[in-house]
Structure formats: C-alpha cells, structure tokens
C-alpha cells in the first residue's frame, strides 16, 4: 500500500485579550500569506462559544467584512496553508475545530509529524475515528485520550509523544497555548499589542498590526495566554540539538521578518556577498529572479561592483487558476508570472541570481526567456548549495528522483537550463553566513543529514513507495 505523507508549509497567528481579535488575525494572516495560498481560516471564541470560518483560497478573498463581523470574541487563532498535491480540499483546511468530552478546542499547525502514521494506526486500533488526513489531528486525539485534568498537562503529554516539526497554536474556551517542537524546525514568535499578547510564525505579522516583537518561542517551550497574562512551560523531552530550518532563511520567510534572531533581508544580502566572492564572473549586469533572488542579487552586485538591474518583472496577481490559451505559447506558465525587459537585457552579459534550483524546469524557461530578450550571455548563480534531498519537516519538496541535483552534475544542470555558466554557494559559505550559531541549523535538504530518523526514510529516499 502506498503511504501518504503530507508536507505542509503554513503560517499561524493568534491573539489573546483583544476585542478586535478576528480583524487583527485577518491582518496577521494577510502578512503571512506567502507561507500558504491554498486555504485560510480563523477561529474565535467568546463566552465558551467558538466561531469559525475556513475556506479554500487566499485571505483577502475569503474574509469579507461581513464574515469577520461574525467571528466574535476577544481571542482568535488563524492559519494559512499550502499542501502537497493530492491533499488539497476543505476538509484539511485549518484551524481544525473539534468537540470532545472536556469541551472544544481549535488547532493550527505549521510543520510535519514524522511518526504520524504509527500514532494514527495505534489510535485507530484503540477506537479513535479520524476525520481528516492531517497529521495535526493526531495531536487532538492524544489530547483527548490523556488522563490529566489540566489542559496544559494534556497538551504536554500529547506533544511529548509526537515526533517531527511543529509550531502549533491550540485555543480552548479560555486560553491560547502555543508550542514549538524540541528541535525548533519551524519559527514561532511572541509579540505584544497594548494589553494583548500575540503569537505568529513571522515578525512581519507584528509589524502590520503595530505589535512589538518580544522574542522567539524557544524549542520545546509552551506559551500560555490566559486571563492571568502570559506564562510558560516546557515539553518534556530528551536533550535535543537545535535544528532550525535553514531554508526558511534562504527562501521561505519574508525578507522583512526577524527569523531565528537574524534579519532575513540582511542575511540574504550576505549570501549574495559570499556568492560573488566564491563564484565571480565577468558580466555587465546582475539581475534577480523575483522575488526570491532580490536580496542575494543586491549583495552580489555590491560585492562584485557589477550594476544591479531589475530586468524581470513579476506579475503579483496570478491566481490559483487561469484560462490557458488553446494556441500554444512558449513558456506560458513562466510568462504568466514573469516578463523580461528587452531594453535592459539586449546585448548584455547577465548574472542571473536565484535562491535555489529544484527540478530545473523553471530555471530553464527563465534562462531561455532572458536569452530571447537579447542577452548575450546568461550566468546563473544560486545563493544556496545544491538541493539534493527532500524535506520531511514542513517544506514541500519533491521526491529525491525529481531533484535535479541528486542525479546530475553541475555541468549537466548548466547544459539543461541552457546557461553559459552555473555556480552554487557552497555549504561552507552558507555556514559562514550563519556565523557562530551555524551548528543550530538543519541542512538535510543539502547533505541528507536528517536530525530525526524514522523507519521508512531509507525507502522513501529511494522513491520505491512514492513513484
């Protein structure tokens, strides 16, 4: 039987003690929209009553003024989600609201539980009935089965039993509880807005609502927001090594966020500096692949002295569906999102900077687009090492056989994408950019050194179950 593991890249937001909780959660989710565009939801609570609206689509389209006005209460949690193919339907949208014999709770989860299947099978054998294919639902069943009377103790026991990545918000009738896994894979932050406390995946959400950034939630830390203010607890665990996701810094987080105590924009510029130092080339202009290559391109330009130019314009209004013309148009999918400025590119030797190459198909189309716009040469520079292995902890990456760098040399990739030269940032330079705390990061997508081992991994990496 083919196993299915759903790797979600998501964003979570929660606010306690604010009469405009739903409005502010809507704004927070809007700031986190880059973390997931497939579905979004908000659950609020007032006087032991829960109010929920969850739908497929983007935040701005889902939440009208009328819908927000029906989400009553002084506390709320929200979620934006992007999932892998095959798991795209409303049943799996979050926050997930449940009734159980001790009351109600809502859950919003960013990350991936690697022992989900084992726990699910055990719980089903004991009589639990699952309503979704979300790994997050396992946590709900574990909370329900706990013998502790205190909700925080129940949550602690549940989170002790799960393995993998989770930055999670759980709302009861009178509390919001946030927690981060003992490895710290995915981010979670604490903010304050007047007398209200806020929890969010990224600090850019605090900026939009005017909240003050306090600090990160620590790995294995539990944060409790209730009428007594803010308090803390810890998930019992064996001593775990910090394994912050380095790809959050390279690509996933918004450049205006503070992530793992580093400003994302400055870090990406630093990657560009190191890339220019490590992989120089004679050229006329440096051009980013927007938006992911912008900061690294600026850094490359600053260090190399080669002028920076915006020569690829991104269309930010591409929806989830579109009508493709019956008449064939070359590179239609890329042209829908990007367009080249011929005046800037014509006759130029171009350094084209991006954050990563995954399958290589998009890079190939972009290089060809730049050449068709008149570029004399195109030199591709990537501000991260080669992506050789899939992620199992909450970033959606293909199976290993689909990752071009896992089976092709850099020279072969260069020929495939039709670039005149191709170079990646080394893993050593990436660690240099992270400075003294580089040992606190997970590099599994680059070197295959997974912090959490699990039984099916070797088979999964060989793709025997997932073709």
Catalytic machinery residues? 10
Name residue, tokens 């987080």: 253
**DSSP-assigned beta bridge partners for residue 141:** none
The span from the CA of 460 to the CA of 139, in Å, is: 24
Name residue, tokens 């193919």: 85
Backbone angles phi, psi at 289, to 5 degrees: -85, 110
Which letter, b or e, does each residue of 145-177 get, where b requires 16 or more Cβ atoms within 10 Å of its Cβ? bbeeeebbebbbbbbeebbbbbbbbbbbbebbb
- For CA atoms 86, 89, 95, 99, the dihedral sign is negative
Do residues 94 and 108 make contact, with C-beta atoms less than 8 angstroms apart? Answer: yes
Sheet of 96-100, strands arranged across: 96-100, 103-110, 167-171, 176-180, 221-226, 229-234
Instruction: Supply the DSSP string of 47-115, one letter for each residue.
Output: TTEEEEEEEES-HHHH--HHHHHT--SSEEEEEEEE--TT--SGGG-SSEEEEETTEEEEEEEES-BTT
Output the CA torsion 206→207→212→218 (10° steps).
Answer: 50
The span from the CA of 348 to the CA of 425, in Å, is: 24
- For the packed helices 116-125 and 136-145, what is the interaxial angle rounded to 10 degrees? 40
């Amino acid at each position: 039987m083919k196993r299915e593991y759903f790797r979600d890249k998501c964003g979570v937001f929660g606010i306690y003690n604010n009469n405009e909780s739903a409005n502010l959660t809507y704004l927070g989710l809007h700031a986190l929209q880059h973390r997931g565009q497939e579905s979004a939801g908000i659950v609020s609570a007032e006087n032991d009553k829960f109010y929920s609206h969850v739908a497929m689509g983007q935040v701005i389209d889902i939440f009208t003024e009328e819908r927000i006005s029906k989400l009553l209460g002084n506390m709320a949690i929200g979620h934006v989600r992007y999932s892998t193919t095959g798991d795209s339907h409303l049943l799996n949208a979050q926050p997930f609201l449940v009734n159980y014999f001790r009351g109600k709770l809502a859950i919003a989860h960013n990350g991936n539980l690697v022992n989900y299947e084992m726990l699910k099978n055990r719980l089903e054998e004991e009589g639990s009935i699952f309503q979704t294919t979300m790994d997050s639902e396992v946590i709900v069943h574990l909370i329900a089965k706990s013998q502790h009377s205190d909700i925080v103790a129940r949550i602690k026991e549940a989170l002790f039993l799960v393995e993998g990545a989770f930055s999670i918000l759980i709302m009861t009738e009178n509390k919001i509880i946030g927690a981060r896994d003992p490895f710290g894979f995915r981010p979670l932050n604490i903010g304050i807005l007047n007398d209200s406390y806020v929890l969010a995946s990224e600090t850019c959400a605090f900026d939009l609502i005017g909240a003050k950034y306090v600090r990160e939630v620590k790995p294995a830390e539990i944060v409790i927001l209730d009428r007594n203010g803010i308090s803390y607890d810890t998930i019992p665990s064996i001593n775990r090594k910090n394994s912050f996701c380095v790809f959050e810094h390279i690509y996933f987080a918004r450049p205006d966020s503070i992530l793992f105590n580093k400003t994302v924009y400055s870090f990406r510029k630093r990657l560009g500096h190191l890339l220019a130092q490590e992989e120089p080339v004679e050229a006329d202009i440096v051009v980013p692949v927007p938006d992911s290559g912008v900061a690294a391109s600026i850094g490359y330009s600053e260090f190399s002295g080669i002028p920076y130019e915006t020569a690829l314009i991104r269309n930010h209004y591409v929806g989830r569906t579109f009508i493709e013309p019956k008449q064939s148009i070359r590179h239609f999918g890329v042209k829908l999102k990007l367009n080249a400025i011929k005046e800037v590119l014509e006759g130029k030797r171009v350094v084209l900077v991006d954050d990563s190459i995954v399958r290589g198909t998009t890079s190939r189309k972009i290089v060809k687009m730049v050449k068709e716009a008149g570029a004399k040469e195109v030199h591709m520079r990537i501000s991260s090492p080669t992506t050789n292995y899939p992620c199992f902890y909450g970033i959606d990456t293909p199976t290993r056989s689909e990752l071009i760098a896992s089976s092709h040399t850099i020279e072969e990739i260069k020929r495939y994408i039709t670039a005149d030269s191709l170079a990646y940032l080394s893993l050593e330079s990436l660690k240099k950019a992270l400075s003294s705390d580089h040992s606190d990061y997970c590099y599994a997508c680059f070197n295959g050194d997974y912090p959490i081992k699990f039984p099916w991994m070797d088979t999964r990496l060989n793709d025997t179950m997932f073709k």
